[in-house]
Copies of this chain bind each other. A is one copy, B any other.
Amino acid sequence: MKKHVYLFSEGNKEMRNILGGKGANLAEMTSIGLPVPQGFTVTTECCTDYYESGEKISEEIQSEILEYIKKLEKITGKEFGNPDNPLLVSVRSGSRASMPGMMDTVLNLGINDEVTIGLANLTNNPWFAYDSYRRFIQMFADVVMGYSKASFEKVFEDIKCEKKALTDQDLITQDMKKVVNKYKENYLKVAGTSFPTDPSVQLMEAIKAVFRSWNNERANVYRRLNNIPYLWGTAVNIQEMVYGNMGDTSGSGVAFTRNPATGENKLYGEYLMNSQGEDVVAGIRTPEPISSLASLMPEVYKEFSQHAKKLEDHYRDMQDMEFTIENGKLYMLQTRSGKRTAMAAIKIAIDLYNEGKITKEEAIMKVDPNQLDALLHPSFSPDALKIGKIIGTGLAASPGAATGKIYFTAGDAVKAIEKGEKEIILARLETSPEDIEGMNIAEGILTIRGGMTSHAAVVARGMGTCAVCGCDDLAIDEPSKTLKTKTGEVFNEGDFISLDGTTGHVYKGRLETVETTISGDFKTFMSWVDEVRDLEIRTNADSPNEAKIAKEFGATGIGLCRTEHMFFEETRIETFRKMILSQTEEDREKALAQILPYQQDDFEGIFREMAPYPVIIRYLDPPLHEFLPKELKEIEKIASDLNVSIDVIKSKIEDLKEFNPMMGHRGCRLAITYPEIAKMQTKAVIKAAINVAKEGKIVKPEIMIPLIGDKNELKYITEVVREVANNLIKDSGIKLDYLVGTMIELPRACILAGEIAKHADFFSFGTNDLTQMTYGFSRDDASKFLSDYYKKQIFEFDPFARLDVSGVGALVEIAIAKGKEANPNLEIGICGEHAGEASSIEFCYNQGMNYVSCSPYRVPIAKLAAAQSAIKASKKNN
């Protein structure tokens, strides 16, 4: 019979796949002798089984759980439901990957009227017993049964009001008893049945609730953003309760072994006396910094510091820990690798290496490539900061600079982005897991309440989004959607503010930002990355300036230079339109001859900037109608410029209209019907290359023909290109090598890659279009239904953001195998959006690509992802 439940003493940290991260670490802490309240873990496989059985826990698993309750009773010497010596437990989720705050937790389970009385007698602390009971009723009603917690909160608030109590602690035992009674009444009213008093029933319901929470909307969104597969499921940890709410020598807290915002090597965290863990996170009372515990309870602080060091050394990583003090005794409730900012991640990795704790390779593996994004974005310019008006200061919860329009709910923020807003600041009293989508799209997050470990702070750091938290200089009025300063200044929805996540300052209006450079620790770290990396990183750049930025970030070549952007500039678009509207090849050639010098000039600039690295230039790709005017005024202007009637222009525009432009007359199809365009572009590329080569620079032009689906297309265009190019080179008298290759972006090109490779010097996978064609939906239109796809678990991630390995990836694999077989010298790369996303880069690396080409700001991310891929691959091979 399969084992579904493990005591903490039966597991270890390697078992996170079945025990989840929390369960595996509780087991590990137990085995290295830390003070962990004992318990057991129901495996992640039970979660999968739960969903496969139509959301039921099988009889077999249920009885195994009850059997382990008996074992736990034996270990603790307490008994489930026995008022004389009651065992209370916490029931907590814990999946293979950490998903902080996304799933549910139930504390104080096993309590009922009799147990409460027993607990009161046993501890001689009736206040504590009733506080625990009222906590459990509310949590059970809310988390397990899904009843609104508002009605319970109201009961509690009413009584506090009546008793003029500011905090829970101001209530006396009698008040707490009253709360419990009112809670029970309220439960009966809401549920229609009385509160369940049987601990076993409570337990099974709570376990089911944790399983269910694996599939709640915020967990699904979090998984999608963090590439966590739905199939993994969550484990459930049942652990003996220890009580931080037993009075003034009790408390609970969370702490990091190092500062998660800066990486500073110093214990960092918060705690609250006379509280249970949830209170610290919820931000109801403002917690104390962990350092103050040193004076308050020096022995406990010392012990905790030792445990923290032991854990960090053991895990060889910065740890995020939860602890509870029960009547002066310290218990460790959880440890995990701590989330950290990109800056902190880099500092910690370097420090751990310098402290001799990890190798360089391990240091490289400790930084999430996608997180680097935060370091690569602008900060406020010193000048802007000088004139910026500070309207409040909060905690510098997540570094960076953000400027944007304020929105007061996650929903409003999402709607604004959908309507086309680019820069949004989400301002909330405090955030909750439901806000996750709004937080994800915001440039910055501002909260009025909550500390450095509040939900907003943790999530923002994970996302690399700038955040200022707990800024009580400012007040939010939710109904009227306004933000008010202490001086009475009012900001409405849509007004601009700016956040500095590095100082905690909040500024009025828009502040100018400046680019950041790679220096200090970041520079050191990137040099390590470059030592390990063996995949070439190129960039997608259409201008000398973009090429410059990318080169500074370490790109060694351009993998995609789109030529069409060059035609949109005001001085050129008219000539280009003239070309399109030409009735004869001759007229077309005349117009093209006028465009040639501009295009040549662009290429010269790019070649100069990118020398001595290769530059891939993609020939004209979009359908021609994209270049034509839509407004009547513009049409009239062109008609008068070309000296033809408006109707002629209109009818040409009508002619060029397409039902499905994505699948229309574009890409190489343009060069086939109008080879004169390809000829002009070849002249521009080769003449530019010759000129820059004459300056003594190394120039490596690579001409890329887009949207090839058949070898004959490439053969035809390659012949046109080579004839023009070879003649120009011959006339120039200098030696110049160039390549001609193709984008592989159609399924047919993948299938027939062997034939195509015979005519190509290189393949560059255009996985944007390839994804569109393979799935049969266009990026622009898919947004209408993809949200339903996520909701209904049909898709777990956006295939345009992360390469679909099983479908699109299978085609890429076929294409590489066939292409290399036919042409062993084929240079292979990728230039789609995926080339800047870590998991996709790993796929490309494993497929044996020569390079990935991403946007300039993602070059360091791609480098790190490539280095990590190399490390993983070498591990596998050893």
Q: What residues make up the interface of A, taking CB atoms closer than 8 Å to B?
A: 658-665, 669, 672-673, 707, 709-710, 712-713, 716, 745-748, 751-752, 769, 772-778, 780-782, 784-785, 788-789, 792-795, 804, 806-808, 810-811
- How many copies, total? 2
Contacts of A778 in B (CB 8 A): 658-660, 663-664
Q: Are A808 and B673 in contact (CB under 8 A)?
A: no
Q: Are B748 and A775 in contact (CB under 8 A)?
A: yes
Q: Are B769 and A747 in contact (CB under 8 A)?
A: no
Q: Are A811 and B673 in contact (CB under 8 A)?
A: no
Q: Are B811 and A665 in contact (CB under 8 A)?
A: no
Q: Are B777 and A664 in contact (CB under 8 A)?
A: yes
| Separation of A784 and B657 alpha carbons in the complex (Å) | 11
Q: Are B776 and A707 in contact (CB under 8 A)?
A: yes
Q: Are A746 and B774 in contact (CB under 8 A)?
A: yes
| Separation of A672 and B776 alpha carbons in the complex (Å) | 16
Q: Are B663 and A772 in contact (CB under 8 A)?
A: yes
| Separation of A669 and B777 alpha carbons in the complex (Å) | 10
Contacts of A780 in B (CB 8 A): 658-660
| Separation of A659 and B773 alpha carbons in the complex (Å) | 14
Contacts of A793 in B (CB 8 A): 712
Q: Are A748 and B663 in contact (CB under 8 A)?
A: no
| Separation of A792 and B715 alpha carbons in the complex (Å) | 11
Q: Are B660 and A794 in contact (CB under 8 A)?
A: no
Closest beta carbon of chain B to A83's beta carbon, Å = 47
Contacts of A777 in B (CB 8 A): 663-664, 669, 709
Contacts of A664 in B (CB 8 A): 777-778, 781-782, 784
Contacts of A709 in B (CB 8 A): 774-777, 807
Q: Are A781 and B663 in contact (CB under 8 A)?
A: yes
Q: Are B769 and A776 in contact (CB under 8 A)?
A: yes
* A230, closest chain B residue (CB): B712
Closest beta carbon of chain B to A878's beta carbon, Å = 32
Contacts of A669 in B (CB 8 A): 777, 785
Q: Are A807 and B748 in contact (CB under 8 A)?
A: yes
Of B665, B752, B781, B794, the residue contacting A781 (CB under 8 A) is B665
- 19 A-B interface contacts by CB (under 8 A): A659-B662, A660-B662, A660-B780, A663-B777, A664-B781, A665-B781, A665-B785, A669-B785, A672-B788, A672-B792, A673-B788, A707-B776, A709-B777, A710-B794, A710-B807, A713-B794, A747-B811, A751-B811, A769-B776
* 12 other A-B residue contacts (CB within 8 Å) besides A669-B777, A672-B788: A660-B778, A663-B776, A664-B782, A665-B781, A709-B776, A710-B795, A746-B776, A747-B747, A747-B773, A747-B774, A748-B775, A773-B773
| Separation of A769 and B778 alpha carbons in the complex (Å) | 14
Q: Are B747 and A672 in contact (CB under 8 A)?
A: no
Q: Are A663 and B660 in contact (CB under 8 A)?
A: yes
Contacts of A788 in B (CB 8 A): 672-673
| Separation of A751 and B775 alpha carbons in the complex (Å) | 11
| Separation of A785 and B780 alpha carbons in the complex (Å) | 24
| Separation of A806 and B712 alpha carbons in the complex (Å) | 14
| Separation of A716 and B781 alpha carbons in the complex (Å) | 21
Closest beta carbon of chain B to A748's beta carbon, Å = 4
Contacts of A804 in B (CB 8 A): 748
Known: A712-B793, A776-B746. A660 touches B781 (CB 8 A): yes
Of B658, B773, B775, B785, the residue contacting A776 (CB under 8 A) is B773
Contacts of A781 in B (CB 8 A): 658-661, 663-665
Q: Are B773 and A774 in contact (CB under 8 A)?
A: yes
| Separation of A710 and B716 alpha carbons in the complex (Å) | 36
* A746, closest chain B residue (CB): B776
| Separation of A793 and B710 alpha carbons in the complex (Å) | 12
Closest beta carbon of chain B to A677's beta carbon, Å = 13
Q: Are B663 and A795 in contact (CB under 8 A)?
A: no
* A780, closest chain B residue (CB): B659
| Separation of A778 and B661 alpha carbons in the complex (Å) | 9
Of B713, B794, B811, the residue contacting A716 (CB under 8 A) is B794
Q: Are A663 and B663 in contact (CB under 8 A)?
A: yes
| Separation of A773 and B673 alpha carbons in the complex (Å) | 21
Closest beta carbon of chain B to A792's beta carbon, Å = 6
Closest beta carbon of chain B to A611's beta carbon, Å = 35
Contacts of A710 in B (CB 8 A): 794-795, 807
Q: Are A672 and B794 in contact (CB under 8 A)?
A: yes
* A655, closest chain B residue (CB): B784
| Separation of A804 and B793 alpha carbons in the complex (Å) | 35
**Shortest beta-carbon contacts, A-B, top 4:** A747-B747, A664-B781, A663-B778, A746-B776
Q: Are A748 and B659 in contact (CB under 8 A)?
A: no
| Separation of A789 and B672 alpha carbons in the complex (Å) | 8
Contacts of A811 in B (CB 8 A): 747, 751
Contacts of A785 in B (CB 8 A): 665, 669, 672-673
